[in-house]
Amino acid sequence: MAYTETTTTGYGTRVGRSFKSIGSGFVMFCLATALLWWNEGRAVKTEKMLDEAAGAYVEMENPNKKDASLDGELICGTAMATTEDSLVDAQFGIGANAIAISRKVEYYQWVEHSQSKSEDKLGGKEVTTTTYTYSKEWVSSPVQSSEFKDPAYQNKNMVLTTIEDASQYSENVSFGAYKLNESLIHSISSREGMDLAISEDLLKQFDKNTQVAYERFYGVKQKQPEPEQTVVLSDSAKAVADSLKAVNDSINAAMAKAENKKDFEYIHQASNVLYFGRVPGSPEVGDVRVTFEKVVPAKVTVMAVVDGDTFKPYKAKNGKRFQTLVMGKKSGDEIIDAEKEANNMWLWALRILGIMLVIAGLKGIFGFIETILKVVPFIAGIFGWGVGIVCTVIGVVWSLIIIALAWLFYRPLLGIALLALAGFLVWVFAFKGKDKLKELAAKRNQPQPAQ
């Protein structure tokens, strides 16, 4: 059963909060304005840097042989990224000759989901009903169930062991006759499962410790895992649970097919997964699974400036720096085109975010008007609707003006066009919008015909 909690906020408290929100709304408005300005400058500088790099780079024909004439040049070359370094995960006593090794830890826990619904009452009070639902999920860190709202689920969580996520990278990674710098090494993504060769003695020690933790929480060990409890989930919680179940099923299937399986009562090793718990296919609260991966040698393409026997970022005339590593063989033009597409995507994503924050800031500044009128919810709804439209229009216009001014500063021709568009929107709103708002408000006030 879902657990519900109802809270009532008085009119005076709501009005007080609305006035306090003026300050936070103003701060958000200013930060959003700064974000819009900065984003336009960032995009223009990045594009200019990429155009400059496109005309400056040279192809490194043979990375396997050092070429003194390329020193200081922006190059684009393809070679195998390899290493002779051996990396060791000391906690589990395993290692590999790899560019990097990592372990990812997940815990099976009860997770709390909440969904709130607010209703205005005559007199200005607000009644908020929050519904809490609970589901078992794999999560990246233990969940403190002592803070759950439903007493029936409090202190339901435990973990059989606590392990930190960890990653290690080789310091010496070769690119033909050259060496990759740290940033380029971290860009290599040729990940695959790591072969586990954990010693029997260590697995037995893990098994013993896990058994102690299990029986401390569950008491006498159960022959069958406890059945899943039926819970009511919201649509969003169901979507999350379904996606996590799909991931869990794929991991369990991989473990079932693994060749290097080692099974103890509370520890199970299969492929690149080490499982703490009784039955990997039927997880219980407290179970832990650790997935080990390594980054293996792979063919990569580097675009960076040759610096002796290694590389450094390219520095454009405007101060922007650039270096990149992509998987596989790519031409310099392909890399530049991909970087320009990414720059354009970030430009529009941050524009949309900035505009939304500007509108949210304005609503925070003027939201007190609607709150004051909450004594009569129907009237407050009409004014709130109007304030929302006004804030949206002003927010969009203001954002276009800021973007246009930024472009006037960085690129005048497009800035003038954007200012003209903003001016047109102001004219439409000032001279045409008033009559439309009055018409819409009149329709909202008309009594609805009986059904």
In a structure prediction context, what are the per-residue pLDDT tens digits for the chain, which is 451 residues long? 688 888 887 777 777 777 778 888 899 999 999 999 999 999 999 999 999 999 999 999 999 999 999 999 999 999 999 999 999 999 999 999 999 999 999 999 999 999 988 887 777 777 888 999 999 999 999 999 999 999 999 999 999 999 999 999 999 999 999 999 999 999 999 999 998 889 999 999 999 999 999 999 998 655 444 444 444 555 655 665 566 566 566 655 555 555 567 889 999 998 899 999 999 989 999 999 999 999 999 999 999 999 999 999 999 999 999 999 999 999 999 999 999 999 999 999 999 999 999 999 998 888 777 767 666 666 667 777 778 888 898 999 999 889 888 887 877 766 677 667 767 766 766 666 556 656 655 665 566 555 4
pLDDT at 51: 95
As a 3-state breakdown, the chain gives helix, strand, coil percent values, each rounded to 5, of: 45, 25, 30
C-alpha–C-alpha distance, residues 316 and 311, integer Å: 16
Predicted confidence at residue 451, as pLDDT, reads 47
CB of 304 closer than 8 Å to CB of 76? no
The span from the CA of 30 to the CA of 248, in Å, is 44
* Token digits of residue 233: 């989930």
Task: Determine contact, residues 171/85, Cβ cutoff 8 Å.
Answer: yes
Using CA atoms, how far apart are residues 5 and 131, in angstroms rounded to an integer? 7
State whether residue 292 is helix, strand or coil.
strand
**Which residues make beta-bridge pairs with 305?**
74, 312
The answer to whether the beta carbons of residues 286 and 217 sit under 8 Å apart is yes
Q: How many other β-carbons are positioned within 10 Å of the β-carbon of residue 122? A: 10
Q: Would you state the pLDDT for residue 19? A: 75
Sign of CA dihedral 106, 112, 113, 116: negative
Whole-number pLDDT of residue 193 = 94
Which run of H or E residues covers position 42? helix 11-56
